[in-house]
Amino acid sequence: MALHFIKKAGPGLMLSLWSLVAHAEFSWNFPKPVTPMAVDTLHVHNKFMVIILAIFIIVLGIMIYSIINHRKSKGYQAATFTGPSTRSQLIWTMVPFAILIYIDFVLMGIPAYHSVVLMEDTKNGADMVLKVTGMQWRWQYEYMDGDAKGIKFVSNLATPEDQIHNKAAKGEHYLLETDNHVVLPVNKKVRILLTSNDVIHTWWVPQFGSARDAIPGFLRETWVKIEEPGTYRGQCKELCGKGHGFMPIVVDAVPEDKYKEWVAAKKTDLAAASAGADKAWSKDDLIAHGKEVYEKNCAVCHQSNGQGLPPTFPALAGSKVINGPIFDTSGKLIANSHLDRVFNGKNVMPAWKAVLNDVDIAAVVTFERNSFGNTLGDAVQPAQVKALR
């Protein structure tokens, strides 16, 4: 009866499933690999898939043959030659034993060995070093050497809230777009150092074939050598709290000359931003800019209305920390004051000094002191933040 059912209903079911399937674009395998490691991984993966499919089909075939032929309903008499436990049975069981030893240590084992060695080839021949710091819930990048040395920025999810909450149509790179792309030159071996400021994250771009954990207090490394210009997208893949699904990675791989242009432009930008810290800002300008910074960085936890998500993420409205002084009489930053908490962080609160520039920090603090019903009326100047560095 069972088989009868498969015969009758199977094709129809497959057909209806297929019609559902045929209209959409599906990807059936790894995305196109662009680094030597990813190419190797794809080859190994394909080979292994063929091997396990072959095992599966052979074993299933034998089983189905038996199911079709050795049935009571067909009047097949059970063989009696197999006692409960004979020597011949033990010898027969050596067959799958030997086959699997061969598959594990030769057929699959040897290519797997080579890919492990390739994957861990981080220790020499690097053209440049990129440091990646994971934090809840964004990535921070620092260029460690060469012309780009000193470039340092944070990369946030750029998908608007409205799209996530289905109030607006979803964009092309929904959840896979950041405000600051990482830019890397093609055909250069980049050593990637990983660490974290809070919990464990995993930095992963599928087309690079490398995934490595970012562990607080420890340094880990991996490498990429991107062989094709393009924009590559990835995500964090270690559960790191409520924003885990919302910390994408976007890497632009560009030719050497374009990379140099980007480095120069980025440096100019950073210089301009730090020059902005030297001028005096009006309170209104700070609040306007601070609102933008807040929406991008702070609203995830403290919410757009400043109510937070207690007990983990306290409300900013009416907060004791915010409604207190920032500098003492001698002009020093008061420990555990509003600016201290933003600048240096505490527990779950990140240390924004590593992530935001002076203007951003001054602006967001000023914004918070004059919003959500907080009416301190004062302003923090970027120059005051700069003096803390």
Partner 1 sequence: MLSAQPNRNDANRRLALKLLWVVGAAILFTLSLVPLYRVFCQVTGLNGKTDVRPVAVQKSLKVDESRWVTVEFTGNVMPGLGWNFTPNQSSMRVHPGQIELATYEARNNTNQAAVGQAVPSVSPGQASLYFKKIECFCFQRQSLKPGERKEMPVRFYVSPELPADIQNVTLSYAFYSTASATN
Partner 2 sequence: MSTATTVLHDEHHAHYQPGIMRWLTTTNHKDIGTMYLTFALIMFMVGGAMILAVRAELFQPGLQFLKPEFFNQLIGIHALVMIFAALMPAATGFANWMLPLMIGAPDMALPRLNNWGFWLLPPAAILLTLPFTLALFGIGDGALATGWTFYAPLSVQGGIGVDFAIFAVHLLGISSVMGSINIIVTIFNMRAPGMTMMKLPLFAWGWLITAFLLIATIPVLAGAVTMLLTDRHFGTHFFNAAGGGDPILFQHLFWFFGHPEVYILLLPVWGFIPHILSAFSRKPIYGYKAQVYSFWAIGILSVVVWAHHFLTAGMPVPALLYFMYSTMSISVPLAVLFFCWIATMWKGSMSFETPMLFATGWIILFGIGGLTGLVLADVAADAQYHHTYFVVAHFHYTLFAGGMMGIMAGVYYWLPKMTGHMYNETLGKLHFWLTAIAFNITFIPQFFLGLAGMPRRIPDYALQFAEFNMISSIGAFILGLSQLIMVYNIVSCVRGGKKATDKPWEGAQGLEWTLPSPPPYHSFTEQPVVE
Binding residues for partner 2 restricted to 94-153, rule: CB under 8 A? 95-97, 99-101, 103-105, 108-109, 112-113, 115-120
**8 Å CB contact between 343 and 352:** yes
Smallest separation (angstroms) from partner 1 to the CB of 254: 23
Query: Within positions 195 to 224, which residues make up the interface with partner 1, using CB under 8 A?
Result: 195, 197-198, 216-221
Residues 381 and 181: their CA atoms lie apart, in Å, by 29
Q: Which does 12 bind (CB under 5 to 8 A by kind): partner 1, partner 2, none?
A: none
Q: Tell whether residue 340 is a contact of partner 1 (CB under 8 A).
A: yes
Among 63, 99, 275, 334, binds partner 1 (CB under 8 A): 334
Query: How far are the Cα atoms of 90, 115, 263, 375 from residue 380, in angstroms, in the given order?
Result: 81, 54, 31, 14
**8 Å CB contact between 361 and 355:** no
Per-residue binding letters, 217-256, with partner 2 (x by CB under 8 A): xx-xx-----------xxxxxxxxxxxxxx----------
CA angle 132, 214, 388 (to 5 degrees): 55
Closest CA to 3 of 79, 56, 63, 77: 63
Cα-flanking dihedrals φ and ψ of residue 253, to 5°? -100, 125
Per-residue binding letters, 300-329, with partner 1 (x by CB under 8 A): ----------------------------x-
Residues 159 and 177: their CA atoms lie apart, in Å, by 6
H or E stretch at 139: strand 138-143
Torsion-angle region of 183 (φ positive above 0: left; ψ -120 to 50: alpha; else: beta): beta
The strand order across the sheet containing 220-224 reads: 152-155, 138-143, 128-135, 190-196, 220-224
Closer residue to partner 2, CB minimum distance, 105 or 327: 105
Residues 217 and 154: their CA atoms lie apart, in Å, by 19
Per-residue binding letters, 113-152, with partner 1 (x by CB under 8 A): -------x-xxxxx--x-x-x--------x-xx---x---
Closer residue to partner 1, CB minimum distance, 122 or 274: 122
Among 351, 376, 383, 386, binds partner 1 (CB under 8 A): 351
Smallest separation (angstroms) from partner 1 to the CB of 338: 12
Rounded CA Rg of the chain? 29
Closer residue to partner 2, CB minimum distance, 29 or 375: 29
Closer residue to partner 1, CB minimum distance, 232 or 343: 343
Contact positions vs partner 1 (CB under 8 A): 120, 122-126, 129, 131, 133, 142, 144-145, 149, 191, 193, 195, 197-198, 216-221, 328, 330, 332-336, 340, 343-351, 353-354, 388-389
